[in-house]
Amino acid sequence: MMDEKVGANDQPVSGAPAWKKVIAKYQQPSVWRSVWQVVNSLVPYVGLWYLMYLAQTVSVWLALPLAVLAAGFLVRVFIIFHDCGHGSYFKSRKANDIVGTLTGFICLTPYYQWRWEHSLHHATSGDLDRRGTGDIWTLTVQEYLEASRWKRFAYRLARNPAVLFVVAPLFLFVIQQRFAFLRGGARERFSVHLTNVALVAMAAAMCWIFGWKAYLVLQLTVMMIAGSAGLWVFYVQAGNTYDEPQIICFSPLGRATAQTCRV
């Protein structure tokens, strides 16, 4: 516990903002903490799949509650994958790349292509003139008003909660991530092909163990819940605010509002 409160405008002797001094100790990765997070995320996730195997021999309905728990741990795995992509999880870039690639298999996401696309997202987020990479479809008020009736309908549909948080995650992770971007380099394209081969092998093994119907039900349930949670976090926390011009947002009830909001 600190004896004195640190204000946002307080200045330490060095001249740097006080908050930077407070968070400095958290800016360097800790190897043992990183390894422990990998263990306490992957081991429970694998363990839950084993319990789902035992439960589905009685009824797949018994396994579905376990799939919800597994989805929570899959979100943790994706967080590790994300931080490896930023090169911040381990001090070693090689360690980040290895763990990122392996966790990418579990998250159905090619590591190098995602890392490349995500870096573009960070470089262009908040810039209306460079929309379209790693973000959610966004129209300004003027663009929306000038759009055709069908484009307006498509925009409203894309931002409907059922589409945005249920359909979109499944499409993104199950379908879209199976294809390489034409703009990507050879390493990015190779990571897509490597991930696809790994997923085919994993799916074949799991279908043999679980049976294809039970496996598909459980895997899609895990991905849908984990993807929905992840996309929701991205939508409300990692989205960027466009100051001008204002953009069109929609409430959960479908009412359009012209305002500056998170996208």
Q: Give this prediction's pTM.
A: 0.81
DSSP 72-133: HHHHHHHHHHHHHHTT-SSS-HHHHHHHHHHHHHHTT--HHHHHHHHHHHHHHTT-GGG--S
Report d(CA 68, CA 220) in Å as an integer: 11
Report d(CA 114, CA 85) in Å as an integer: 8
- What residues contact 140, with CB distance under 8 A and at least 6 apart? 128, 242, 245, 246, 247, 248
Taking the domains of the chain in order of start, what are their residue ranges?
A: 29-259
Q: pLDDT truncated to tens, each residue of the chain (263 aa)?
A: 334 444 444 444 455 678 877 887 777 888 999 999 999 999 999 999 999 999 999 999 999 999 999 999 999 999 999 999 999 999 999 999 999 999 999 999 999 999 998 888 767 766 677 776 777 778 888 888 899 999 999 999 988 889 988 999 999 999 999 999 888 889 999 999 999 999 999 999 999 999 999 999 999 999 999 999 988 888 776 554 444 445 555 544 444 444 444 43
